[in-house]
Structure 1
Amino acid sequence: MMAAVDKVKVLVIGDSGVGKTSLTHLIAQHEPISNPSWTVGCSVEVKLHEYKEGTSYQKTYFIELWDVGGSSNHRMTRSVFYNSVHGIILVHDLTNRKSQQNLQKWLAEVFSRDGNSKLRNSSFDDFDPEQFIGSNQIPVLVIGTKFDLIEEFNSNINHRLSSFAEDCGADEIFLDCRQMRSLAAGTSSAVKLTRFFDKVIEMRYHARENISPFNISDKRNRIYTSPLLTSPKLYHND
């Protein structure tokens, strides 16, 4: 009998049209999608991931990538997808500065589910990502898409984007989702993505085993905490 494979749930969130569907397809299927459609509600792609590949701790896990539709019309109903979250990928369009600015609102929308009264009673514009950085539970990755359309990726743009990722304690990737080579094995983007998935699995299944390879004193390895989103009842395999 085939052994059960443990799984983790990763939200993929960001404004409508930033390329979340193309991104999740590239990650899960290792090839570009030819004709992406608009996501209504949520679609799920599944990826097999080798945790700590090449070490004695290597194990296969399912990564569920929940591509949540970004239409503002569904803001009040999509919160149902924010339960049982183990990781978050924030996606923005590098040619659309507003989509990057809105990532703060997306985080606020997700974390308003944790019962935090201060957040519920404040404007999403006042949400400070750093105040929610903790020592465990929800890793975050920031991904900028449509990198091929940036004619000159100058230092000012780089500084603006990196500052947001640093506030989130997150790594950052820039991609052209139409190219397989964007996540080719050995590239810096592929390494960061693998490190992110390992961190998600680490915190979901191995946080109490004291085998973490991550240095949590580094701000980029600090991660979000949300009691509701990390309920121990979630995603148990019987």
Structure 2
Amino acid sequence: MANIIDKVRVLLVGDSGVGKTCLTHLITHKESLSRPGWTVGCNIEVKLHEYKEGTPQQQLYFIEFFDIGGSLSHRNTRGVFYAPIHGIILVHDLTNRKSQENLREWLYEILNKEGKDVRNSSGDCSFDPEQFLGSTQLPLLVMGAKLDLLDERRQPKPLKKIGSIAEQCGAEEIWLNCRDPRSLSAGTTDAVKLSRFFDRVIEKKNQSRDSSTSFADKRKCTSTFNANTETTTKLITLLR
């Protein structure tokens, strides 16, 4: 019987036109996308990933990428794609500072759909990054696209990585040119960061599954104990 390959789901979100579809295509096909279209709803791509490659724990996984359309007109309906998920990639346009600032709202939108309390101490809708930190939260990666256009247009530098949402949430960040297939060539720093992120996503899913199994086992043991206790009580009553 052939081995069944497990899978994890990763969301790619960000404002409309920031380059999510090009980025997804580059990651999954290792080539640039010359004429990307506008994503309506959700575009799904899949790639194979070697978890903990080169170690005894190496295992093949499917990574499902849910490229979510960024149009404001779909804001009230795209929440159907937000569960179940195992990791988040926030994408912004390096030539558009506002798209980076809006990543906070995207993260709030996702986590709020997940039923997590992510409001800040003032109770407003801007999530508190400290709420996101910790081993119980979803793995996060921030990616800045259109690095080539940033250089061509001589735009002012985007928000510094220090103090950005990546820094606040303890996430790694990648800036790249999606037009250049070499941007994520094997062995490059950015490719290693991306692979490391996928490993964290898989580990998070495995931890959640182990926790669920452990909880189910505890419930089963408790039920068995209660049943045995009830039976023993009845026997004692009969013997008296």
User: Post-superposition shift, 1:129?
Assistant: 2.1
CA gap 1:55/1:30 in 2 versus in 1, 3 angstroms: same
Q: Match for residue 114 of structure 1?
A: 114
CA distance in 1, matches of 2:117, 2:108: 12
- 1:182 is aligned to 2:183: yes
CA gap 1:50/1:117 in 2 versus in 1, 3 angstroms: closer
User: Post-superposition shift, 1:35?
Assistant: 1.3
Cα deviation code 1:12-62 (max 9, x no counterpart): 000000000000010001111121100000011001000000000000000
Q: How does 1:25-104 map to 2 (within 5 A)?
A: 25-104=25-104
Cα deviation code 1:145-185 (max 9, x no counterpart): 00112239x9x947623422111210000110011100001
Q: How does 1:112-151 map to 2 (within 5 A)?
A: 112-116=112-116, 119=119, 122-124=123-125, 126-151=126-151
User: Post-superposition shift, 1:118?
Assistant: 6.2
Q: Match for residue 23 of structure 2?
A: 23
User: Alignment partner of 2:160: what SS?
Assistant: helix
Contact 2:82-2:114 within 8 A present in 1 as well = no
Q: List gaps (5 residues or longer) in structure 1.
A: 210-229, 233-238
Q: Match for residue 171 of structure 1?
A: 172
Aligned AA (1:185)? A
Alignment RMSD: 2.6
Aligned AA (2:111)? F
Q: List gaps (5 residues or longer) in structure 2.
A: 214-240
CA distance in 1, matches of 2:46, 2:76: 26
Aligned AA (1:34)? S
Aligned AA (1:174)? W
Aligned AA (1:178)? R
User: Alignment partner of 2:161: what SS?
Assistant: helix
Farther-moved stretch of structure 1 (171-180 vs 128-137): 128-137
Aligned AA (1:133)? L
Aligned AA (2:173)? E
Q: Match for residue 206 of structure 2?
A: 205
Contact 1:84-1:231 within 8 A present in 2 as well = no
Aligned AA (2:25)? H
User: Alignment partner of 1:151: what SS?
Assistant: helix
Moved over 6 A (4+): none
User: Alignment partner of 2:60: what SS?
Assistant: strand
Aligned AA (2:22)? S
Aligned AA (1:13)? V
Which structure exhibits the higher relative contact order, with contacts defined as CA atoms closer than 8 Å and separated by 6 or more residues? Answer: 1
User: Post-superposition shift, 1:119?
Assistant: 3.1
Identity %: 58
Point out the structure with the larger helix share. Answer: 2
User: Post-superposition shift, 1:134?
Assistant: 1.8
Give TM-score scaled by structure 2 length: 0.80
Q: Match for residue 222 of structure 1?
A: none
Cα deviation code 1:173-206 (max 9, x no counterpart): 0110011100001111000000000010011115
Give TM-score scaled by structure 1 length: 0.81
Q: Match for residue 4 of structure 2?
A: 4
Aligned AA (2:93)? D
Contact 2:97-2:159 within 8 A present in 1 as well = no
